[in-house]
Amino acid sequence: METGSNYLTIRERQFAWDSNRGRTYLMGILNVTPDSFSDGGKFNTVESAISQAKSLVDGGADIIDIGGQSTRPGAEEITLEEELHRVLPVLHALRNQTDSCAAVPISIDTTRSQVAMAAVAAGADMVNDISGGTADPQMFSAVAKLGVPIVLMHIRGTPQTMQQHTDYQDLMAEIYQFLQNRIDSAIAAGIDRRKIVIDPGIGFAKTAAQNLEILKHLSILKKLRQPLLVGPSRKSFIGQILNRPDPQQRVWGTAAACAAAIAGGADILRVHDLPQMSEVCRVADAIFR
C-alpha cells in the first residue's frame, strides 16, 4: 500500500483526494446482518452476500464495506463471536473469487479491534469504525500495527442510545472538534495521517434537521484536510422529507443528498444503490469538480 499527500493506493487501486480534478468514489454497502434498517436479512448468507458484492462492483463500487453488526438506532449489540461468524466467511469467499470481486478493496465496518484484526487477516484492506475509535480502546493501536486506512466517524453514545444525544450548542463546531480529537489520537497511536478518512456521521445522534445542516455546511470539515466520507444513503431524514417510510423507496432522495455532498467536498459516498449513484457522481463531478 502506497501513500502520498493527495492519494492512497489500496490493493493496486489509486484513490486521489483532489476536489478540483479527481472524482468521487463509491463505497458499496454490504450488510451481512438480519436486522439492518434497509436491507437486513437480504444478504446474510455467503451466497447472497457474494451475489450482492458482484452487483455492487458491476454497478461501479470502488470499495465494498462489509458489516456484521447493525448500527441502526436501537440495534441490539451482538457478541464478538457472532460478528466474526457473520463477516469472516463472506470475506474468505470474496477473496477466493476469480472475477472483479477478487481485486476490489474491502472495508470492514466494525468498532471491535479483534474483528478488525481478523478481517484484515482474511483479506480486508481498511477499517470503518462508526465510533471513531471510542468504543474499543485497542482499536487505534491495532490499526497502527495493521498499517491499514481507517474511517473515523462522529457519533455520540452508541447505536442503542445515540438518538438521546442530539442536543448540540453548535453542531458543526462540535463535529469538527470531535473529529480533530480523534485524528490527533489516531496519529498519537501510530496511524499515518495519510490513512485517516473522516465521516460526519449522518443519522448518528442527529435529528433530521441536523442531517440537513451537515450537508449544507459540509465544506467546514474540509479544513481538517482529511479525505471526507459521507453516508446519507436511504436514511430516515430522506424518508421524512419524501414521506417514504420504506427505505428502499428513497433512491432519488439519496441521489439529491449525494449530489449535495459532492458539492460540499465529499471524497467518498457510502451507498446502497449502484449503479444509480454512480451516474449521480459522474454528473455531479462534471459540475463541481
The reply to whether omega before 275 is within 30° of 0 (cis) is yes
Is the pLDDT at 270 greater than 80, yes or no? yes
In CATH, what number is assigned to the domain containing residue 221?
3.20.20.20
User: How many domains are contained in the chain?
Assistant: 1
* pLDDT category of residue 76 using cuts at 50, 70 and 90: confident
Dihedral sign, Cα of residue 27, residue 30, residue 33, residue 36 = positive
> Max Cα separation, the chain?
51
Instruction: Report, as an integer, the average pLDDT of 166-172.
Output: 97
Q: Is 225 left (phi over 0), alpha (psi -120 to 50) or beta?
A: left
Active-site residue among 72, 270, 282, 289? Answer: 270
Residue 71 lies in a domain: yes
The set of cell numbers assigned to 59 is 454497478
pLDDT value for 1: 46
The residue range of the domain holding 258 is: 25-288
Active-site residue among 195, 234, 235, 250? Answer: 235
7 or 190, greater pLDDT: 190
pLDDT value for 109: 97
Is the pLDDT at 29 greater than 90, yes or no? yes
Is the pLDDT at 4 greater than 50, yes or no? no
CB-CB contact of 62 with 27 (8 Å): yes
CB-CB contact of 109 with 91 (8 Å): no
The question of whether 195 is a catalytic residue gets the answer no
Is the pLDDT at 190 greater than 60, yes or no? yes
71 or 189, greater pLDDT: 189
> Measured between alpha carbons, how far is 133 from 169 in angstroms, rounded to an integer?
23
Residue 132 lies in a domain: yes
Burial 232-243 (b: 16+ CB within 10 A, else e): bbbbbbbbeeee
Task: Tell me which residue of 137, 152, 156, 236 sits closest to 193, measured CA to CA.
Answer: 152
Residue 169 lies in a domain: yes
Strand partners, 66: 30, 108
Give pLDDT tens digits for 192-205. 999 999 999 999 99
* pLDDT category of residue 5 using cuts at 50, 70 and 90: low
Residue 2 lies in a domain: no
Q: Which helix (H) or strand (E) holds 229?
A: strand 229-230
Is the pLDDT at 166 greater than 80, yes or no? yes
Residue 47 lies in a domain: yes
Instruction: Report, as an integer, the average pLDDT of 239-261.
Output: 97
Residue 20 lies in a domain: no
> Measured between alpha carbons, how far is 185 from 179 in angstroms, rounded to an integer?
10
Task: Tell me which residue of 16, 65, 5 sits closest to 36, measured CA to CA.
Answer: 65
Q: How many CA atoms lie within 13 A of 227 on its CB side?
A: 26
CB-CB contact of 139 with 133 (8 Å): yes
Give pLDDT tens digits for 87-118. 999 999 999 988 888 889 999 999 999 999 99
* pLDDT category of residue 157 using cuts at 50, 70 and 90: confident
Give pLDDT tens digits for 200-234. 999 999 999 999 999 999 999 999 999 999 999 99
The question of whether 270 is a catalytic residue gets the answer yes
Residue 181 lies in a domain: yes
Strand partners, 199: 153
Length of the chain: 289
Burial 118-140 (b: 16+ CB within 10 A, else e): bbbebbbbbbbbbbbbbbbeebb
Instruction: Report, as an integer, the average pLDDT of 21-26.
Output: 88
Residue 5 lies in a domain: no
> Measured between alpha carbons, how far is 148 from 150 in angstroms, rounded to an integer?
7
Question: How far is the CA of 181 from the CAs of 111, 184, 191, in angstroms?
Answer: 17, 5, 14
> Measured between alpha carbons, how far is 277 from 255 in angstroms, rounded to an integer?
6
Residue 214: helix, strand or coil by DSSP?
A: helix
Give residues with Cβ within 8 angstroms of 146, minimum separation 6: 116, 117, 120, 127
pLDDT value for 223: 95
